[in-house]
Structure 1
């Protein structure tokens, strides 16, 4: 392989972590009455529910949510900077067109989370259940997905730059029209992917996965 034809490895980067004060004031979740363009900042929110709330273009800065339920809530256009979501339930929440920067999602349930058209920078998903999540047309840069399940997730026409996928379940995820050049999925688990051979150009895979892709694309390997 010539130097020019080698894939560009884009998963080598240092993730910028959330910048939070050492001590955050505890704020009861029940005091949050969300409304359009509201700012939520400098707080530790634990053991509460915002399920079903609706508001546009909410701003969250320097916040830590722990054991908070966001299920079925609608926050289109939400902007999140320097945030930790720990043991939260974001199932079927609508966060389309979100802008998320320096955020960590740890042990979160995110089944069906809608991040359509969102922009993610320096975001980590660790040990999250994000099956059927929607990231269509999303732009991801310096994003890490580790030990999580994104099975059946939709990454159609997304942009993945400096994105790590490690030890995660991506079975039947949709990557059509999403270039995977330099993306390492060699430690991920899947039996099928929504992907074309063109999308896979330069993608880093394991030897067993190479055999699996021959079956996915209906190729026949002739033994000598």
Structure 2
């Protein structure tokens, strides 16, 4: 029986209304950008704090050497972008979609996520440590060796995603459904698993992880 998907708010943005840009000028801390589309370009060496993006689309954009700590993203779409190793630490991200993006090693530690979709993304080694995550869906994505330690998860759903060796220690998983995720091991404490939803096959993985012996 398939799970009923969580409903989240989509970005409130109309692509046909946005002027297309092939480059992004150097950002300064506290800058505000709105109603733009950046397409088929490289954005590099952007270092700023508390930049705000509102109603922005990034399409086929590669980010390199970029650190935008405490960035605010509202009604933003990243489509087929490379955000590997980007630093979005302590960001506030609302009504935002990451679709078909490469996000290996991205830093999202300490972020606040609300109504965010990660669809078909590669986010291995991504850091979500100590984050507040609510109304978030991750589907058809890879988050192997990612770090969700000491995060608060509410209305957080995973569908058909790889989370092998993800770190979840200190994160309460009550009500979180991992049953259709793919993993052979997780970094998690017994106390964190209370109320977590898993499949029968995954139960055997946890038996092995905690050194138990199953008598059949």
Match for residue 96 of structure 1? 89
Aligned to 2:165: 172
C-alpha contact (below 8 Å) 2:8/2:115 kept by paired residues: yes
Distance of 2:198 and 2:149 partners within structure 1: 20
Which piece of structure 1 moves more, 119-128 or 36-45? 36-45
Q: How many angstroms does 1:136 deviate by? A: 0.5
TM-score, reference length from structure 1: 0.92
- The answer to which structure has the higher strand fraction is 2
1:148 matches 2:159: no
Question: What is the CA–CA distance in structure 2 between the aligned matches of 1:212 and 1:68, rounded to whole Å?
Answer: 39
Per-residue Cα deviation, 1:97-156 (whole angstroms, up to 9, x for no partner): 000000000000000000110000000000000000000001100000000000000001
Q: Which residue of 2 aligns with 1:8?
A: none
* Counterpart position of 1:55: 48
RMSD over equivalenced CA pairs, Å? 1.2
Aligned runs of 1:111-150 on 2, under 5 Å? 111-150=104-143
- Runs of 4+ displaced beyond 3 Å: none
* Alignment correspondent of 2:38: 45
| TM-fit CA distance, 1:26 | 2.8
Check whether the contact 1:72–1:91 (CA below 8 A) recurs between aligned residues.
no
Q: Does the alignment pair 1:77 with 2:78?
A: no
SS in structure 2 of the partner of residue 70 of structure 1: strand
Distance (Å, rounded) in 2 between the aligned partners of 1:100 and 1:29? 24
Return the offset for 1:28.
1.8
> C-alpha distance in 1, partners of 2:14/2:198?
40
- Name the counterpart of 2:179: 186
* TM-score, scaled to structure 2: 0.95
Residue in structure 1 matched with residue 209 of structure 2 by the alignment: 216
Return 5+ residue gaps in structure 1 as ranges.
1-10
Is 1:13 matched up with 2:13? Answer: no
How many pairs does the alignment contain? 213
Larger RCO: 1 or 2 (CA < 8 Å, sep 6+): 1
